[in-house]
């Protein structure tokens, strides 16, 4: 933004780097360890300790990414649900809001499994759990150029949905997306009729699409930086960055996090999504920040910042000549939300500074049909992390999944991806 002070940029940068430092300190890692070469095993660490069965699966996308998936098998209800995490997170988002011994009802995924659902948790391309591709290495730029929520919607979501329907022997499944998990679904559902026909319910939780009214000071400040400045600082591959130059910059900032201090952790995260006083159990902060933030690409972050600066829900903007090459037009196409012909339940917060009520209500106005539940006192992080979320949110999710029926909105349409 014109006139944005250099000192303001530096302060925003320090806060952004604090997020990385927080994750490192919580897990007693050094900053360089965040690269995630040896991610914490999900089944052994977060599921089996509760006496719940857990399976690790891998699915390969059409463009060669090998995605890690976690399954909590249960056929009691004969229904499968795929849960997809948000930006800079992983499948652990739905598993870590508890401490060992507190019981399975405190986490979203374990609560749904206990209720009888066949629960699947996906890990998007670019997370530390999905860093393989048949053609490209994560040490090269081409790998990270294909880590973007648009590609996640185009390739990751269909690959995982198709895999689940085959393995679980289901005609249709339910899809629950939190934050970016809903963003990639809107992108995918708007472009693929074949994908839509396999979804009987789409739960869009804290859905982020248009970000015209986003009020997070941290994200507004970062989005105001020139894209070239971000790439020069952090590189053009992964975030957190793998390249030594960016790691050196982070070391030079030399801000120490003591994430046992609850207020510091709250302030860092609430700068992004808004604050709800006493929303998160103090006992779980360190456990949460052991796993988040996870990885993504600078390209994906740049795409998100574009949504903030343009106020539009659209594909990645390559610039005029790049857009002409990739899209055959000077400007990136906007996603056509009228084509999201999937039974949709929108769950959003009244105090969300990222997916604001104004932008979620705009999103709903573009959908062909939907149901909505507003949580007036909830901010962005509360849906997965708030102490009362098992009763406030996940009981309603469970009810919606239990009452789901077959999606016949596309029954008479040809089975083709052409729009």
Range 348-373 burial, b when 16+ CB lie within 10 A, else e: bbebbbbbbeebbebbbebbeebeee
137 carries an active-site annotation: no
Q: What are phi and psi of 5, to 5 degrees?
A: -65, 150
Candidate list 85, 146, 303, 380, residue with the active-site label: 380
> Tokens 């997070």 correspond to what residue?
216
| CA proximity to 29, closest of 259, 285, 244, 183 | 259
Which residues, at least 6 apart from 410, have a Cβ–Cβ distance to it below 8 Å? 193, 196, 197, 341
380 carries an active-site annotation: yes
Question: What number of residues does the chain have?
Answer: 419
179 carries an active-site annotation: yes
Exposed (0-12), middle (13-18) or buried (19+): which is 168, by Cβ within 10 Å?
middle
Candidate list 179, 182, 192, 297, residue with the active-site label: 179
| CA proximity to 363, closest of 403, 388, 387, 334 | 334
Q: Which residues pair with 56 in a beta bridge?
A: 70
Enzyme catalytic residues: 179, 352, 380
């Amino acid at each position: 933004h014109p006139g944005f002070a250099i000192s303001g940029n530096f302060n925003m940068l320090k806060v952004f780097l604090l997020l990385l430092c927080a994750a490192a300190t919580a897990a007693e890692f050094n900053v360089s360890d965040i690269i995630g070469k040896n991610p914490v095993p999900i089944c052994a660490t977060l599921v089996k300790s509760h006496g719940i069965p857990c399976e690790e699966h891998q699915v390969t996308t059409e463009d060669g990414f090998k995605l890690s998936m976690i399954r909590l098998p249960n056929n009691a209800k004969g229904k499968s649900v795929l849960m997809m995490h948000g930006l800079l997170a992983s499948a652990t988002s739905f598993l870590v809001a508890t401490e060992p011994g507190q019981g399975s009802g405190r986490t979203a995924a374990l609560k749904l499994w206990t209720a009888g659902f066949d629960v699947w948790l996906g890990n998007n391309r670019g997370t530390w759990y999905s860093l393989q591709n048949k053609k490209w290495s994560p040490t090269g730029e081409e790998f990270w150029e294909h880590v973007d929520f648009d590609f996640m919607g185009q390739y990751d979501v269909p690959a995982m949905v198709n895999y689940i329907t085959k393995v679980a022997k289901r005609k249709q499944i339910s899809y629950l997306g939190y934050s970016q998990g809903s963003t990639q679904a809107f992108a995918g559902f708007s472009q693929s009729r074949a994908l839509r026909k396999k979804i009987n319910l789409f739960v869009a939780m804290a859905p982020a699409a248009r970000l015209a009214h986003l009020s997070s000071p941290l994200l507004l400040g970062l989005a105001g930086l020139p894209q070239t400045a971000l790439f020069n600082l952090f590189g053009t591959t992964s975030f957190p960055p793998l390249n030594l130059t960016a790691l050196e910059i982070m070391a030079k900032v030399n801000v120490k996090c003591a994430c046992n201090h609850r207020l510091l952790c709250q302030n860092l995260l609430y700068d992004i999504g808004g604050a709800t006083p006493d929303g998160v159990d103090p006992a779980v902060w360190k456990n949460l920040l052991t796993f988040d933030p996870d990885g993504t690409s600078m390209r994906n972050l740049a795409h998100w910042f574009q949504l903030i600066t343009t106020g539009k829900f659209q594909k990645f903007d390559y610039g005029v000549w790049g857009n002409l090459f990739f899209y055959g037009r000077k400007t990136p196409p906007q996603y056509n939300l009228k084509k999201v012909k999937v039974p949709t339940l929108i769950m959003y917060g009244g105090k969300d500074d990222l997916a604001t009520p104004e932008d979620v209500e705009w999103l709903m106005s573009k959908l062909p049909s939907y149901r909505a539940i507003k949580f007036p006192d909830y901010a962005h992080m509360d849906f997965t992390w708030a102490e009362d979320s098992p009763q406030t949110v996940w009981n309603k999710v469970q009810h919606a999944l239990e009452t789901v029926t077959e999606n016949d909105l596309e029954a008479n349409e040809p089975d083709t991806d052409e729009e």
